[in-house]
Amino acid sequence: GAVVSQHPSWVICKSGTSVKIECRSLDFQATTMFWYRQFPKQSLMLMATSNEGSKATYEQGVEKDKFLINHASLTLSTLTVTSAHPEDSSFYICSVASGVTDTQYFGPGTRLTVL
Amino acid sequence: AQSVAQPEDQVNVAEGNPLTVKCTYSVSGNPYLFWYVQYPNRGLQFLLKYITGDNLVKGSYGFEAEFNKSQTSFHLKKPSALVSDSALYFCAVRANSGGYQKVTFGIGTKLQVIP
């Protein structure tokens, strides 16, 4: 399967600042990447689908101006949480889809804590 | 709308005993079904998938899952549990049709293997 990395693995920031999270596909050219958010003891919530060279597709209820997604190349997608607030604290996970069945391969996740 | 149900929040099993983690699904048409495992503060790891063909699917780390179309189930099984199998397990489904189809994840089942 595809190997996916995320950076940073954890970040602590002050309320009102912006945080950028990188997702890299290390061995696979991913035209599509996905960004999920996971709350404690809950399932993954799809935030948006990131498409290389075009605008991301956001799920209903996800603020596109707050969660900026850039998929600048076939191996890199970034999620920027703008003007972060404590309620944005969460575990953010990216994935790439590979193959006909679109099996998803996940990054290790980024723990964001907003003080 | 497609959905996944994992009826058990937690499954406890003694080391060496067989384990089963339950999953039922609802989707239009034929499904692609997936199982993922998540260790604390990590992303999800792909275990196995059902596409078509043999109803019994074998995956990583000795896990297998049985697709039952009449019961719309895809239970995860392992003949002999290890303490290291203790983790959070997610079942996922997507429609088996052309083009990209959104994947829906279950809420997860915590597996606790007792030494």
> Which residues on neighbouring strands pair with residue B26, listed in sequence order?
B3
Mean pLDDT score of chain B, rounded to an integer? Answer: 92
Is the distance from CB of B81 to CB of B15 less than 8 angstroms?
Answer: yes
Give the per-residue pLDDT at A101.
62
Q: Which of the residues A3, A6, A26, A44 would you substitute to probe the B interface, choosing the one with the greatest number of B C-beta atoms within 10 Å? A: A44
| A102 to B51: CB separation less than 8 angstroms, yes or no | no
Pairing of strands A10-13, A19-25: unpaired
The minimum CA-CA distance between B30 and chain A, rounded to whole Å, is 12
Give the per-residue pLDDT at A53.
80
Contacts across the A-B interface (CB distance below 8 Å): 53
B43 Cβ contact partners less than 8 Å away, ≥ 6 residues apart:
A4, A6, A93, A95, A106, A107, A108, A109
Average pLDDT rounded to a whole number, residues A63-71: 93
Residues with pLDDT less than 70, chain B: 98-100
Q: Flag whether residue A4 sits within 8 Å of chain B, measured between CB atoms.
A: yes
Which helix (H) or strand (E) is B79 found in, with range?
none
Is the distance from CB of B55 to CB of B70 less than 8 angstroms?
Answer: no
Between positions 2 and 61 of B, the ones with CB within 8 A of A are 32, 34, 36, 41-46, 49, 51
Is the distance from CB of B72 to CB of B94 less than 8 angstroms?
Answer: no
Question: Is pLDDT of A38 > 70?
Answer: yes
